[in-house]
Amino acid sequence: MTLIDVGSGSEESLEILETGLGDLGYSIKEVERIIITHAHLDHYGLGTTVTDFSSAKVYFHPYEKDRLLCRMDKYWKQNQNKICVFFDELDLPEEVLKHFQSLVAQYCDQALPFEARQVRDLSHRQKIPFDRFTLEVIHLPGHSPGHIALCDTKKRFIFSGDLLLIKSLPSPVIDLDWGSPWVQYKGMVAQLDSLKKLEALKVKQVFPGHWEPFDQAGYFISQYFKGAVKFQKEILSLVGREEKTIYELTRETYGGMSDMAMFNYLPEVFGTVSVLVSQGKVLSEVRGGKAFYRAV
């Protein structure tokens, strides 16, 4: 028996999982495999509780390993310097960094790390056998560096993690990527590429990490591309010839919001600027620890 993601590490989440498995005639003790689509706490938080109750092995992409084998607060402490450099480059006020640290402290107990002996690596195109079908691992980075989806290429259904959701657009989370080949993680560039790969799979049914399953994956992907191109144009017109930082661009795009609320919109702006840089439409330069952007 296999769980694809396990939910967050709360009592409520455990109850829901127990009830869901019970309704199908199973218990947590019987779980044999846990496949984690990516290292966000709402997807792996309950993992160690499940492995405590069962002898399940845990499978995920190696790019997510650093975060899944380390307590969240410890991980942030270990990488504090890199994180501060990155936040400075974005030109973020110090209170925002502090706010982020307080969130990490608040949630770190809800996602305990796995032990190295419990985990197994997954690689792109690896086949995972089940009794009646086979799922293929598809590495689709963007939302996180080691984000995977699991696809039945014959029956054409996919477990899409957070890459494709029906009620909101996937967010290219601002991330640093130790253990992955990118120096600075270009989440949005990777995400657009991953959505193209997903489109080419021509899946019929999508089982996402949030909300209900849906079909018409192609329609949602094309809508997303339309929105992304529109936003790229909008951001490009804001960048202009004058140098601006990501913080300034986000303020201009989403004016009138508090810094904390605005923090949620930074990934979209940062990601879109990264795409414009990769298209050669925007130039970036780091000076005095801050990254400045201007149109070519």
Q: Does 65 bind Zn ion (CB under 5 A)?
A: no
Residue 45 Cβ vs Zn ion, minimum distance, rounded to whole Å: 11
Cβ(59)–Cβ(28) below 8 Å: no
Residue 239 Cβ vs Zn ion, minimum distance, rounded to whole Å: 28
Distance from C-alpha of 254 to C-alpha of 175, rounded to nearest angstrom:
21
Residue 225 Cβ vs Zn ion, minimum distance, rounded to whole Å: 20
Cβ-proximal residue to Zn ion, closest one: 40
- Candidate ranges 98-106, 208-216, 218-226, 259-267; the one touching Zn ion (CB under 5 A): 208-216
In 3-state terms the chain splits into helix, strand, coil percentages (rounded to 5) of 45, 15, 40
Amino acid letter, 34:
I
Nearer to Zn ion, 208 or 236 (CB): 208
- Candidate ranges 32-40, 190-198, 214-222, 227-235; the one touching Zn ion (CB under 5 A): 32-40
Q: Does 42 bind Zn ion (CB under 5 A)?
A: yes
Distance from C-alpha of 273 to C-alpha of 6, rounded to nearest angstrom:
33
Q: Does 61 bind Zn ion (CB under 5 A)?
A: no
Beta-ladder partners of 103: none
Distance from C-alpha of 175 to C-alpha of 256, rounded to nearest angstrom:
26
Residue 140 Cβ vs Zn ion, minimum distance, rounded to whole Å: 12
Interface positions, 149-188, toward Zn ion (CB under 5 A):
162
Amino acid letter, 82:
K
Q: Give the residue among 257, 251, 249 at the shortest CA–CA distance from 295.
A: 249
Nearer to Zn ion, 209 or 271 (CB): 209
Q: Does 5 bind Zn ion (CB under 5 A)?
A: no
Nearer to Zn ion, 60 or 247 (CB): 60
Q: Does 64 bind Zn ion (CB under 5 A)?
A: no
Q: Is the torsion defined by CA of 101, 250, 278, 87 positive or negative?
A: negative
H/E element, 128? strand 127-129
Amino acid letter, 267:
P
Question: Residue 241 CA to chain centroid, in angstroms?
Answer: 32
Amino acid letter, 7:
G
Residue 160 Cβ vs Zn ion, minimum distance, rounded to whole Å: 11
Among 5, 7, 40, 135, binds Zn ion (CB under 5 A): 40
Distance from C-alpha of 268 to C-alpha of 284, rounded to nearest angstrom:
17
Residue 244 Cβ vs Zn ion, minimum distance, rounded to whole Å: 28
Q: Report how many residues bind Zn ion under the rule CB under 5 A.
A: 4
Q: Does 136 bind Zn ion (CB under 5 A)?
A: no
Nearer to Zn ion, 113 or 146 (CB): 146
Residue 62 Cβ vs Zn ion, minimum distance, rounded to whole Å: 18
Q: Give the footprint of Zn ion on this chain (CB under 5 A).
A: 40, 42, 162, 209
